[in-house]
């Protein structure tokens, strides 16, 4: 348990230096002010958004059977006429408006059921779209089994109508921009912290002393990692609590925390590799910055066409996972994405420890 001793020593050092603590405090101050501002603006300009449900709301126009189908499938569906639905959609009360007039009698129909979905091109809307398509695909299998004739006919014709003229409200900013940036900043700060802790020992010639204490190389790395992971855990818990206090509920906090810790471990691994290769703080941070680009690219917004081409791999994309866990309903694909990310982070961490051991010794 030598790595625990190292971790305790580093935590005391971080507290004494106060610089990292100040950065965390500034982060929470920005988040708190953003939530207060967003809540105030929302309550004044769009009071309906204050009652944010546990999952995304959609308006259903047309067939009552289709409304019942979506409700039973777990959607926060509300039936409205097209006029009221579009007004509420433009005011950002709904994530999408779904129109279906000929859903009834689907088991006997010859013609396909046309389903029109009005939505903006953003990640929240794509979550709605992907969940609807998944439920329709399940229903399609049942329909084909029950049909006596027309078994090869197309059953559903889903048409997405992009409508991006709805106004932007704080919920989009909080969930779509601020939260992903905070999660990335937590992971990046953890990686930078590991670089400072590791390279500081090497530059100050205390690394050799620690290793001969006796502390194995793995224990040295585990101690530094434990500190960063612990601080990352505290940060994401505080983020979730602050958002909940501001009425911006995180639907799946447990899985979101696991995801954040997985991303943190990935960046810590990158920091360990950078430190092993360069052995100086400035050079290590330059190498570490290279690892940021592909990850940051994966939190940028994607078009629906590109997302459709990605297919199942979308469940591994950070922006999709973060948004789904924040405002969407949990499903097996999302859980698989979180577990896959966690396993990948552990594999990368093990490899980084091996690289560090080979480069330093």
Whether 350 has a pLDDT exceeding 90, the answer reads: yes
Residue 245's closest CA among 26, 31, 24, 30?
A: 31
Q: Tens of pLDDT along 225-262?
A: 988 999 899 889 988 888 887 777 788 899 999 999 99
Strands (E), the chain: 57-62, 76-79, 96-100, 113-119, 156-162
Question: Which residue has 């000929």 as its token pair?
Answer: 102
Q: How many CB atoms lie under 10 A from the CB of residue 189?
A: 20
Mean pLDDT, to the nearest integer, of 332-336? Answer: 87
CA pair distance 203, 274, nearest whole angstrom = 14
Q: Tens of pLDDT along 33-77?
A: 666 665 565 555 554 444 444 346 788 888 788 888 888 877 788
- Residues 151 and 252 occupy one common structural domain: no
* Ranges 8-17, 107-116, 142-151, 207-216: which has the least confidence: 207-216
Domain CATH number, residue 133? 3.40.1710.10
* Ranges 86-90, 184-188, 223-227, 306-310: which has the least confidence: 306-310
Q: What is the pLDDT of residue 270?
A: 92
- In terms of average pLDDT, the best of 94-108, 128-142, 222-236 is 222-236
Whether 121 has a pLDDT exceeding 90, the answer reads: no
- Residues 180 and 154 occupy one common structural domain: no
Q: What is the pLDDT of residue 257?
A: 93
Last residue of a domain, one of 162, 195, 220: 162
Q: What is the pLDDT of residue 49?
A: 47
Last residue of a domain, one of 162, 186, 212: 162
Last residue of a domain, one of 162, 188, 206: 162
Q: Which two tokens mark 331? A: 């499903």
Tally of structural domains, the chain? 2
- Residues 191 and 261 occupy one common structural domain: yes
Q: What is the pLDDT of residue 52?
A: 42
Q: What is the pLDDT of residue 208?
A: 58
Helices 332-360 & 217-245 angle (0-180, nearest 10): 150
Q: What is the pLDDT of residue 153?
A: 60
- Residues 17 and 56 occupy one common structural domain: no
- Residues 291 and 266 occupy one common structural domain: yes
- Residues 60 and 139 occupy one common structural domain: yes
Q: What is the pLDDT of residue 266?
A: 93
Please check whether residue 107 is in contact with residue 65, taking contact to mean a CB–CB distance below 8 angstroms: no
* Ranges 108-112, 189-193, 301-305: which has the least confidence: 301-305
Buried b / exposed e along 56-92 (16+ C-beta atoms within 10 A):
bbbbbbbbeebbebbeebebbbbbbeeeebbebbeeb
Q: Which domain holds residue 16?
A: 2-39+170-360
Mean pLDDT, to the nearest integer, of 99-119? Answer: 79
Classify the phi-psi angles of 261: left when phi > 0, otherwise alpha if psi is within -120 to 50, otherwise beta.
Answer: alpha
- Residues 196 and 299 occupy one common structural domain: yes
Helix residue ranges, H only, 204-280? 207-211, 217-245, 253-278
- Residues 138 and 32 occupy one common structural domain: no
CA pair distance 99, 318, nearest whole angstrom = 31
Q: What is the pLDDT of residue 166?
A: 55
Task: Read off the DSSP letter of residue 175.
Answer: I
Q: Tens of pLDDT along 290-332?
A: 887 777 666 666 665 666 666 667 777 887 888 888 877 777 8
Q: Which two tokens mark 229? A: 């992971």
- Residues 91 and 224 occupy one common structural domain: no
- Residues 155 and 236 occupy one common structural domain: no
- Residues 103 and 190 occupy one common structural domain: no
Whether 200 has a pLDDT exceeding 70, the answer reads: yes
The residue ranking higher by pLDDT, 160 or 43, is 160
- Residues 110 and 87 occupy one common structural domain: yes
Instruction: Give the mean pLDDT of the chain.
Output: 77
């Amino acid at each position: 348990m030598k790595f625990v001793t190292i971790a305790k020593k580093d935590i005391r050092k971080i507290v004494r230096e106060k610089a990292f603590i100040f950065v965390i405090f500034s982060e929470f101050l920005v988040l708190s002010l953003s939530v207060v501002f967003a809540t105030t603006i929302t309550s004044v300009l769009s009071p309906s958004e204050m009652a944010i449900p546990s999952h995304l709301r959609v308006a259903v126009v047309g067939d009552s059977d289709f409304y019942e189908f979506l409700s039973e499938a777990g959607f926060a569906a509300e039936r409205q006429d097209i006029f009221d639905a579009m007004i509420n959609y433009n005011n950002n009360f709904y994530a999408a408006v779904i129109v279906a007039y000929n859903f009834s009698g689907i088991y006997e129909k010859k013609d396909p059921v046309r389903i029109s979905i009005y939505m903006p091109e953003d990640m929240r809307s794509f979550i709605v779209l992907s969940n609807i398509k998944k439920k329709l695909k399940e229903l399609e299998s049942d329909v084909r089994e029950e049909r006596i004739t027309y078994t090869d006919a197309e059953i559903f014709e889903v048409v997405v109508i992009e409508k991006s003229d709805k106004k932007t409200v704080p919920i989009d900013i909080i969930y779509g921009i601020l939260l992903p940036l905070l999660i990335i900043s937590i992971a990046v700060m953890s990686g930078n912290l590991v670089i400072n802790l590791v390279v500081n020992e090497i530059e100050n010639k205390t690394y050799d002393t620690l290793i001969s204490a006796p502390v194995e190389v793995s224990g040295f790395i585990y101690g530094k990692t434990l500190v960063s992971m612990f601080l990352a855990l505290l940060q994401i818990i505080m983020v979730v609590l602050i958002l909940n206090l501001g009425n911006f509920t995180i639907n799946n906090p447990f899985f979101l925390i696991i995801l954040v810790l997985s991303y943190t471990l990935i960046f810590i691994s990158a920091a360990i590799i950078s430190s092993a290769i360069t052995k100086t703080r400035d050079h290590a941070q330059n190498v570490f910055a290279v690892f940021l680009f592909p990850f940051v690219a994966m939190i940028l917004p994607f078009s629906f066409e590109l997302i459709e081409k990605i297919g199942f791999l979308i469940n591994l994309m950070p922006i999709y996972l973060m948004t789904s866990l924040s405002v969407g309903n949990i499903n097996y694909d999302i859980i698989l994405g979180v577990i896959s990310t966690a396993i990948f982070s552990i594999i990368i961490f093990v490899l980084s420890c091996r690289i560090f051991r080979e480069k330093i010794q």
